[in-house]
Amino acid sequence: MGGDAAPTVVVEGAVRAVQQASSPIQMLLFGPEAALQAELASHDDAGVQIVDAPEVIGMAEAPVAAVKAKPRSSIHLGLSALRQGQADAFVSAGNTGAVMAASLFILGRLPGVARPSLPAYFPTTEGICLVLDVGSNMDCKPEHLLQFARMGAIFAQHLFEVEQPTVGLLNVGEEPGKGDELVKATYLVLEQAPDLHFVGNVEGRDIMHHAADVVVCDGFVGNALLKFGESMTTAVPIMIRQVMAGLDLSPAQQQAIREVFGGLQKRFNPEEYGGAPLLGLDGTVFIGHGRSSARAIERLILRAAQAAELTLTRSIAEAFHTVV
């Protein structure tokens, strides 16, 4: 029931995920039963099972209060199914704060993890850079950013197949000693971490030049960076049209420019990446964008299934057990 166009696009995306999965997926759809049955009526629902969750947490509701007041919501019951072993992963394009609050209450953190972290994918000249945290932790300490780095590196190893991920610290300059007190202290702990391939400070301009596989920052800075990146898909097309309007271009030339930019725009489209995990929880939880389309939901589900198959949560737990 989460997202701007739910439940229509969620149901369609779930059915598509079941149909397109390389290995079989059994889908549990949590929401008001009558509404979901009406949506499924127009689809081949093989492999999809409805679980009645009559209460709905809206996108604008206060997360903690909503989770407490609505124990029969799709978020609450879906996470409970994950906790009880009835599911291997939970996905939602709904209220991110409510998913986080309910996840902490129902699933809890992995041993040794102080704070779960939400990453984002940034396209680069050489693939993808994972940036974390991008909004789930606004006020951080150096040890939190160290843990984000560890979880991000494990994620890059498993889902991006990077053998030894490089880790950078987002800063206002490359030189050690730059930045505020948090960043300077974090530099020292990252530099001393024997399990990380730390490459030093990374400036914002270097992220898309792939200065590192994983870049860490606090959630305030990360969220500002994420929102700026999202503007690329909306502002740049307008700028291109403004420039083309002042040039004497043939229709064929204009079309060629549109095709080139279309390919670039696709790399900035969140739908292509399949949502992001809440790393550090005792369970596989993925969150999608509130504006997710059916394709985005499909990719979200398939990415979460991949993480479950690759036992991402267990790998993080084992890594933290080793370093704690």
319 within a domain of the structure (yes/no): no
Best CA proximity match to 134, nearest among 123, 145, 150:
145
Asked whether residue 316 is domain-assigned, the answer is no
Specify whether 163 is located in the same domain as 217: yes
Find all residues with CB under 8 Å of 73, minimum gap 6, and list them.
1, 53, 55, 56, 57, 66, 67, 98
Given a cut of 90, whether residue 4 has pLDDT beyond it is: no
Range of the domain at 188: 114-273
| pLDDT computed for residue 302 by the predictor | 94
* Same-domain status, 251 and 140: yes
Average the pLDDT over each of 12-21, 69-78, 148-157, 265-274 and give the range with the smallest value: 265-274
> Could you tell me which residues come within 8 angstroms of residue 108 by beta carbon, excluding any fewer than 6 positions away?
281, 282
- Clarify whether residues 169 and 188 are in a common domain: yes
Q: Are 50 and 34 in contact (CB under 8 A)?
A: no
Tens digit of each residue's pLDDT (9 = 90 or more) over 234-252: 888 888 888 888 888 898 9
Q: Do 132 and 235 belong together in one domain?
A: yes
Domain membership flag for residue 305 = yes
Radius of gyration of the chain (CA): 21
Answer whether residue 105 is part of any domain: yes
Same structural domain, 154 and 231: yes
Per DSSP, the three-state class of 110 is coil
Residue 144 has pLDDT above 90, yes or no: yes
Average pLDDT over residues 100-107: 94
Picking from 297, 260, 322, 319, the residue whose alpha carbon sits closest to that of residue 39 is 297
For 25-74, what is each residue's pLDDT tens digit? 999 999 999 999 999 998 887 889 999 999 998 888 888 888 889 999 99
Residues 295 and 150 occupy one common structural domain: no
Task: Verify that 261 and 294 share a domain, yes or no.
Answer: no
Give the CATH number of the domain where residue 292 resides. Answer: 3.40.718.10
**Per-residue pLDDT band at 315 (split at 50, 70, 90):** very high
Partner residues linked to 28 by β-bridges:
49
- Among 294, 218, 296, residue whose Cα is nearest residue 7: 294
Question: Which pLDDT does position 241 carry in this prediction?
Answer: 85
Q: Is residue 322 domain-resident?
A: no
User: Is residue 320 situated within a structural domain?
Assistant: no
pTM (two decimals): 0.90
- Residue 324: which pLDDT band, with cuts at 50, 70 and 90? low
Output the pLDDT for position 125: 92
| Closest CA relative to residue 169, chosen from 227, 214, 136 | 214
Instruction: Find residue 124's DSSP bridge partners.
Output: 127
> H helices of 21-124, where?
33-40, 63-69, 74-83, 96-106
Give the number of other Cβ atoms within 10 Å of residue 324's Cβ.
Answer: 8
Q: How confident is the model over 278-300, as pLDDT tens digits?
A: 999 999 999 998 888 999 999 99
42, 151: one domain: no
Q: How far apart are CA 36 and CA 232, in angstroms?
A: 35
Helix, strand, coil percentages, rounded to 5, for the chain: 50, 15, 35
Residue-wise pLDDT for 122-139, tens only, equals: 999 999 999 999 988 989
| Same domain flag for 286 and 198 | no
User: Reduced to 3 states, what is the DSSP secondary structure of residue 314?
Assistant: helix
Residue 276, SS3? strand
Q: What pLDDT, on a 0 to 100 scale, did the predictor assign at position 171?
A: 97
Residue position matching structure tokens 């930045």:
179
Total domains present in the chain: 2
In this model, does residue 145 exceed pLDDT 70? yes
The closest alpha carbon to 264, from 309, 208, 324, belongs to: 208
Q: What count of other Cβ atoms lies within 10 Å of the Cβ of residue 238?
A: 9
Q: What is the pLDDT of residue 323?
A: 62
The rounded distance, in Å, linking the Cα atoms of 263 and 123 is 12
Which range has the top average pLDDT, 56-60, 127-131, 159-163, 267-271? 127-131
| Residue 149 sits in the same domain as residue 252 | yes
The β-bridge relationship of strands 127-132 and 119-124 is antiparallel
Tell me what the pLDDT averaged over the chain comes to: 91
β-bridge partners, 51 = 30
Residues 82 and 211 in one domain: no
Q: Residue 230 has what pLDDT?
A: 83
Indicate if 29 and 62 belong to the same structural domain. yes
